[in-house]
Amino acid sequence: MNSTLENDKIVATGDYFLVAIRNWDDKREDYLPVDDPSTATQTFSDYLIAESTYFSTNYESCPQAGGKDVKVELLHMRFGIPHMVRNRILFP
């Protein structure tokens, strides 16, 4: 189950925005998938609020990072299919 940072409202399941903070996995040599239990997610129905949250996320606000790089992604979820809007990597 994903850990949720904060959900202010219930959003439509077919069309919403997702900010995901994904951890680095040494074994895979890649970031863990969005549906991994260690991935922190927050959902939004409004793009501007989602984008503001994406840009305000910094490394210090990622306690699950454990001293490793994290990937912050802003995704548009449409009928369960993620569409990349923005992504960046934060370093310790």
pLDDT tens for 46-85 read 999 999 999 999 998 887 777 888 999 999 998 888 899 9
Structure tokens, 39: 């991935």
Asked if 32 and 23 count as a contact pair (C-beta separation under 8 A), the reply is yes
2 pLDDT more than 50: no
Domain boundaries of the chain, sorted by first residue: 3-90
Interior CA angle at 37 toward 32 and 42, to 5°? 90
What pLDDT score does 67 carry? 83
Chain-wide mean pLDDT for the chain? Answer: 85
pLDDT for position 11: 53
pTM: 0.79
- Secondary element (H or E) of residue 15: strand 15-25
Confidence bin at 5 (pLDDT 50/70/90): very low
Beta bridge partners of 11: none
